Amino acid sequence: MGESGVCQRCGQENEPVRRLCKHCGAPLLDPELEMEAAEDGTLGPLFLAGTAAGGQTPGAGGGGDLAAAGPAVRDEQGELAGEPPRGAGRLAAEQTVRLLVPAGRRPACAAPPLLRVSFGDSLRRLFVHLAGGEVRCGRRKPARGEDAPNHLVLRLLPCRAPEIDPDNWHATLAISATHLCILAERDGPHVVDVSRNGTWLDGRPLERGAAAPLGAQFQLMLGGVLRLVGRVLRAPAGGACLRLEAQAPLPLPEPEPFDAALPGSCDAIALERVANETEDSYLLLYRRAAIGSAESCAIRLQAAGVQPEHAWLYRHRGTLLLGPSEQGAAATWVDGQLLEAGQALPVGPGSSIRLGEALLGLAAAEPAEMASLPAARLQRRQQGRASPR
């Protein structure tokens, strides 16, 4: 819509303050442009200065999409109650992973920075980001030529337009354009709040601009409206790293900084949404991630034939490789080729991976996809509303 208030559908004049055309009902402003133009802190009636309606501070409880985590309970060693002990499921520091890449299966190019993993007929989505030293998260979609775009776009979903999803739309405005950053440091990952409405880590508000360490298990609340639970999958001290046999080098540049072992840093960070569209999750991949049925795995699968620790996804020289579990080869196929013990197969967009009876599909993705739901999920929501109680 221009400043004159002319509807792009019917050409009729409208008052500049109107959102919908009074003649044909069409939106007068692109909802996405309105979302991107909104200033941080434009919260509407729900929140004031990061405090939930009714005076509740996020972290003090609640329900629905606005539910917050209570104070984290830690033991004498500072671990969250119920978390696995540090070092569980890790390689011993002196161990090295040695894998052979068959000459006919060497990747021709680097993997894209963001992949979307699908799970057979399920509507579940996993976004895998090949993370660097800083991962920026917020409500704003990346724009072409932007100097510091978000790597993860986080909103209350669905969030199509204020007229269609009013509650989620206005709640999402509590999440800043760029809300927080996750930093990979030598002493482990840290989170930095850069928002106007605050970030809570394990129920405690973070000081804006100050880095706070992430524990093995943690909870984040963004602006009082979106809660994430996370797990840090740590590498051992000294860092065992991926080694490829000399006769099968990859035709790619030298390893990126996070392919090398960093004392105290992590292999991956898994993030899951709570209360709102929990079928979407995120994986920040620094080195490698376990795939299997065990709770400790970065990518969890529940299907016949899937072992507790079935396979590993490795990041190496800008590519992704799938290798067998350290406990031995389990039934795994990549694009119809059986994965053998001591072997690694490159994977990327278009790859089909079968682990037991579980089927995974990989596709290149853009961060903007995280701001919307696939059509099948929207259709299911609409059918749920239409069905009789």
Phi and psi at residue 41, to the nearest 5°: 100, -5
Query: Are 271 and 230 within 8 A, CB to CB?
Result: yes
Distances (CA, A) of 188 to 90, 222, 297: 15, 21, 19
Q: Are strands 266-274 and 280-285 parallel, antiparallel or unpaired?
A: antiparallel
Tell me the whole-structure pTM to 2 decimals.
0.76
Residue 58: per-residue pLDDT: 42
- In sequence order, what are the beta bridge partners of 268? 233, 285
What is the Cα–Cα distance from 21 to 304, expressed in whole angstroms?
Answer: 54
CA-to-CA distance for 351 and 363, rounded, in angstroms?
Answer: 8
Strands 332-334 and 114-119: unpaired
316 vs 242: CA distance, rounded Å = 7
When pLDDT is cut at 50, 70 and 90, the band that residue 295 belongs to is very high
82-91, 92-101, 242-251, 311-320 — most confident range: 311-320
| 140-157: pLDDT as tens digits | 999 888 889 999 999 999
Residues forming beta bridges with residue 134, ordered by sequence position: 183
Specify the CATH architecture of the domain 107-382: Sandwich (2.60)
**Location of structure tokens 């190496």:** 316
Strand, coil or helix: 112: coil
Among candidate residues 250, 297, 12, the one with its CA nearest the CA of residue 126: 297
The CA-based angle 330-334-336, given to 5 degrees, is: 100
Please name the helix (run of DSSP H) or strand (run of DSSP E) that holds residue 242, with its range, or none. strand 242-244
Indicate the residue type of 214.
L
Answer whether the bond into residue 158 is a cis peptide, omega within 30°. Answer: yes
User: In the chain, which residues fall in CATH 2.60.200.20?
Assistant: 107-382
C-alpha dist (Å) from residue 291 to 33, 83, 320, 334: 39, 19, 14, 14
Phi, psi of 291, deg, nearest 5? -120, 130
Q: Which two tokens stand for residue 287?
A: 């080195």
CB atoms within 10 A of CB 230: 22
Pairing of strands 288-292, 319-324: unpaired
Burial classification of residue 237, based on how many CB atoms lie within 10 Å of its CB (0-12 exposed, 13-18 middle, 19 or more buried): exposed
Q: What gap in Å lies between CA 373 and CA 125, rounded to an integer?
A: 10
- What is d(CA 131, CA 133) in angstroms, rounded to the nearest whole number? 7
Please report, as a single letter, which amino acid is at residue 128.
V
> How far is Cα 285 from Cα 82, in angstroms, rounded to an integer?
24
Mean pLDDT of 97-114: 70
Confidence label for 246 from pLDDT (cuts 50, 70 and 90)? very low
Secondary structure percentages of the chain, helix, strand, coil, to 5: 10, 30, 55
- What pLDDT does 214 receive? 96
Q: How far apart are CA 232 and CA 151, in angstroms?
A: 18
Judge whether 137 and 124 are in contact, CB under 8 Å: no
* CB burial of residue 268 (10 Å; 0-12, 13-18, 19+): buried
Low-confidence winner among 276-280, 293-297, 343-347 (lowest mean pLDDT): 343-347
Identify the residue with better confidence: 308 or 31: 308
Q: Of 210, 178, 183, which is closest to residue 196 (Cα–Cα)? A: 178
Q: Tell me: the pLDDT tens digits for 163-190?
A: 999 999 999 999 999 999 999 988 889 9
